[in-house]
């Protein structure tokens, strides 16, 4: 019950209100049930209404209460008591179930928001080791299964409270028979608990397999175009089939354990009732009205206990999703990005990287790198693949922190500056463009209500893509498709540039941002960059000659250090392919 204790601590007031309502419902139903035995005694004429007595404490208490109120015990009055208890119980159970339903929705919302916030607040390095599909599965499947675990646990608690009420009333009628029945029922439930454990194991396997399946599916869909182009989609299909068949096996075990528990419970509990009836009437010589009421109560007890076990089994099937979700939340929170700086500075004079050392594990990337980026100028960084150009950009944006050295903004260390304030001054265009399956306007504003249609148009014009967008049937409200697949690669990159320019940054970073553009489009971007010079600071990571030639200063990054060059280097040598030489392709 560790999960329910955890839920109770997380949602104390909701849980308390639910339990109070259920307990009150049980009390009212118990009061109504105490009128059953006197009612049956009248019905079978074992006593007259005037001189009615009861062989149980609850029945005698009911008769004393009626006498105190001046009400003659009769079929009518006793039926009114029973119906009143049932109605009050139903109203309170409805209130409790309503509270449970609201809390389930609250649990799902809280878990999802907690996960999303912990992920968004995590350091960039955390995401380098995560699979997007697994995180997406956590936000969807695991959240719903975890909230359902609370639902099943709360329902089990409701049935258990009702079973307690029926048991207490039964104890006042005949405690020996009630204790015997309860002991037998608990023994049966313990014997069947192996089916609950089977469900728990199947649920845990289901959680692991769903993570793997969703991660593989996401990876496959991201690369579906090259897979289909090469006729190799069958390879992804084989991997997905394997996980799907394993998941199906786990689901079958879970279904079997649930069906088996329900199927075995009913005949065994029925046998207990039959044995109890025989012992009560033949061996213990209990009066028929008492046996009838006792049987009714004990049957309700056994039914409620069987429901408790089945709901607990359902909770066990979902429990692993909750702990898996908590593991991801705790893992992301442990990697929370901490900003110690508080100063609010803007890029006014220069951005300086001073004696920077950085490595990924034991792989050194930058070793003693130093360079100056003057405000309002256009700086280009070139170098071989793997030289650390993108790492340099990540250090400038504060996504990574140097192991040695400093990143200085106007002479102040980035450690002393509010990172969010600094990043809001940056426009960033990555090499791998990710567009939302939404309108062009949404892809540029990203939901920022402060940006108007006029701002969007200005950004599109600056990126040299306004004529294309304006010619579309719905203009800026035209959708771009999943990952922007309804438009060309060059158009995607220019929309990404417009996105970076929309909020008027002070620093614009282009990380191979023109790699998919044709020469004419690239020249248009270069003209835009030239016009922006002086209005903002431009930093470009590029292998393309046009952008390098347009830069005010060019740095060659190689061997972990940079060297400023007075003229653009030969981008085909020494780290690129000579375009005249071409690439040799083996003949079949």
Q: Tell me the C-alpha distance between 171 and 166, whole Å.
A: 9
Q: Tell me the C-alpha distance between 160 and 318, whole Å.
A: 20
pLDDT at 93: 75
Of 4-8, 52-56, 161-165, 355-359, which range is least confident? 52-56
**pTM, 2 dp:** 0.75
- Residue whose tokens read 């104890």: 171
Stretch 487-500: mean pLDDT: 84
Tell which wins on pLDDT, 283 or 504. 504
Task: Give the DSSP H/E element, type plus range, for residue 404.
Answer: strand 404-409
Provide the 3-class DSSP secondary structure of residue 24: helix
33-42, 68-77, 97-106: which has the highest mean pLDDT?
97-106
Of 74-78, 123-127, 464-468, which range is least confident? 74-78
Is residue 88 scored above 50 in pLDDT?
yes
Residues 6 or more apart whose Cβ sits within 8 Å of residue 236: 216, 220, 223, 224, 227
pLDDT at 368: 87
Share of residues in the chain with pLDDT > 70 (%): 86
Q: Tell me the C-alpha distance between 313 and 192, whole Å.
A: 11
Provide the 3-class DSSP secondary structure of residue 357: strand
Kindly indicate the confidence band of residue 53, based on its pLDDT and cuts at 50, 70 and 90.
very low
Question: What's the chain's average pLDDT?
Answer: 80
Stretch 387-412: mean pLDDT: 90
Provide the 3-class DSSP secondary structure of residue 392: helix
Stretch 378-402: mean pLDDT: 88
pLDDT of 506-515, one tens digit each?
999 988 777 6
Q: Tell me the C-alpha distance between 493 and 517, whole Å.
A: 8
Task: Give the DSSP H/E element, type plus range, for residue 525.
Answer: helix 519-532
Kindly indicate the confidence band of residue 567, based on its pLDDT and cuts at 50, 70 and 90.
low
pLDDT of 208-233, one tens digit each?
888 888 888 877 777 776 777 777 77
Stretch 312-333: mean pLDDT: 91
pLDDT of 243-263, one tens digit each?
888 888 888 888 898 888 888
Share of residues in the chain with pLDDT > 90 (%): 11
Assigned token pair, 105: 């929705």
2-331 adopts what CATH topology? ABC transporter transmembrane region fold (1.20.1560)
pLDDT at 134: 85
pLDDT at 582: 34
Is residue 191 scored above 50 in pLDDT?
yes
Kindly indicate the confidence band of residue 396, based on its pLDDT and cuts at 50, 70 and 90.
very high
Kindly indicate the confidence band of residue 69, based on its pLDDT and cuts at 50, 70 and 90.
low
Q: Tell me the C-alpha distance between 533 and 542, whole Å.
A: 17
pLDDT at 68: 62
Tell which wins on pLDDT, 311 or 286. 311
350-565 adopts what CATH topology? Rossmann fold (3.40.50)
Domain residue limits, the chain: 2-331, 350-565
User: Is 564 in contact with 373 (CB distance < 8 Å)?
Assistant: no
Tell which wins on pLDDT, 278 or 357. 357
pLDDT at 56: 52
- Using alpha carbons only, give the angle 389, 393, 396 rounded to the nearest 5 degrees: 140
pLDDT at 169: 78
């Amino acid at each position: 019950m560790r999960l329910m204790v955890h839920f109770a601590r997380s949602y104390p007031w909701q849980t308390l209100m639910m339990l109070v309502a259920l307990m009150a419902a049980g009390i009212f139903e118990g009061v109504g049930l105490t009128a059953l035995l006197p009612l049956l005694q009248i019905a079978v004429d074992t006593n007259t209404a005037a001189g009615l007595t009861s062989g149980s404490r609850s029945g005698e208490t009911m008769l004393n209460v009626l006498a105190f109120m001046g009400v003659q015990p009769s079929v009518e009055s006793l039926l009114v008591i029973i119906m009143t208890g049932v109605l009050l119980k139903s109203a309170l159970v409805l209130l409790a179930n309503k509270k449970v339903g609201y809390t389930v929705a609250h649990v799902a919302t809280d878990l999802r928001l907690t996960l999303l916030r912990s992920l968004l607040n995590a350091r960039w390095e955390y995401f380098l080791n995560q699979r997007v599909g697994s995180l997406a599965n956590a936000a969807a499947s695991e959240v719903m299964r975890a909230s359902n675990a609370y639902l099943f646990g709360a329902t089990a608690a409701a049935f258990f409270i009702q079973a307690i009420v029926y048991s207490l009333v039964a104890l006042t009628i005949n405690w020996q028979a009630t204790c015997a029945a309860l002991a037998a029922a608990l023994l049966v439930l313990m014997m069947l608990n192996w089916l609950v454990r089977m469900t728990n194991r199947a649920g845990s396997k289901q959680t692991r397999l769903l993570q793997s399946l969703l991660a593989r599916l996401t990876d496959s869909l991201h690369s579906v175009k090259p897979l289909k182009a090469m006729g190799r989609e069958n390879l992804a299909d084989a991997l997905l089939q394997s996980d799907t068949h394993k998941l199906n096996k786990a689901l079958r075990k879970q279904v079997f354990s649930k069906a088996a528990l329900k199927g075995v419970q009913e005949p065994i509990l029925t046998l207990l009732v039959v044995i109890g009836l025989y012992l009560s009437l033949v061996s213990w010589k209990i009066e028929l009205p008492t046996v009838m009421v006792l049987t009714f109560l004990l049957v309700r007890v056994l039914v409620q206990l069987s429901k408790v076990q089945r709901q607990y089994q359902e909770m066990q099937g979902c429990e692993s999703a909750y702990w898996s979700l908590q593991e991801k939340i705790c893992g992301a929170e442990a990697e929370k990005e901490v900003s110690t700086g508080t100063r609010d500075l803007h890029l006014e004079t220069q951005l300086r990287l001073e004696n920077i050392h950085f490595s990924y594990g034991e792989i050194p990337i930058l070793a003693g790198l130093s360079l100056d980026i003057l405000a309002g100028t256009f700086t280009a960084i070139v170098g071989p693949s793997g030289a650390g150009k993108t790492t340099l950009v990540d250090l400038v944006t504060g996504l990574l922190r140097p192991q040695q050295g400093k990143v200085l903004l106007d002479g102040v260390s980035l450690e002393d500056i509010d990172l969010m304030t600094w990043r809001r001054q940056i426009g960033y265009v990555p090499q791998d463009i990710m567009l939302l399956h939404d309108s062009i306007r949404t892809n540029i504003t990203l939901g920022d209500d402060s940006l108007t249609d006029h701002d969007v148009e200005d950004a599109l014009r600056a990126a040299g893509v306004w004529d294309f967008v304006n010619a579309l049937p719905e203009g800026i409200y035209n959708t771009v498709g999943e990952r922007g697949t309804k438009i060309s690669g060059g158009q995607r990159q220019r929309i990404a540039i417009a996105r970076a320019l929309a909020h008027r940054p002070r620093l614009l970073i282009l990380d191979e941002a023109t790699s998919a553009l044709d020469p004419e489009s690239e020249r248009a971007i270069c003209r835009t960059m030239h016009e922006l010079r002086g209005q903002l600071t431009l930093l470009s990571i590029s292998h393309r000659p046009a952008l390098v030639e347009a830069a005010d200063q060019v740095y060659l990054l190689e061997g972990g250090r940079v060297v400023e060059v007075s003229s653009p280097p030969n981008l085909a040598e020494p780290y690129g392919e000579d375009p005249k030489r071409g690439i040799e392709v083996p003949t079949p």
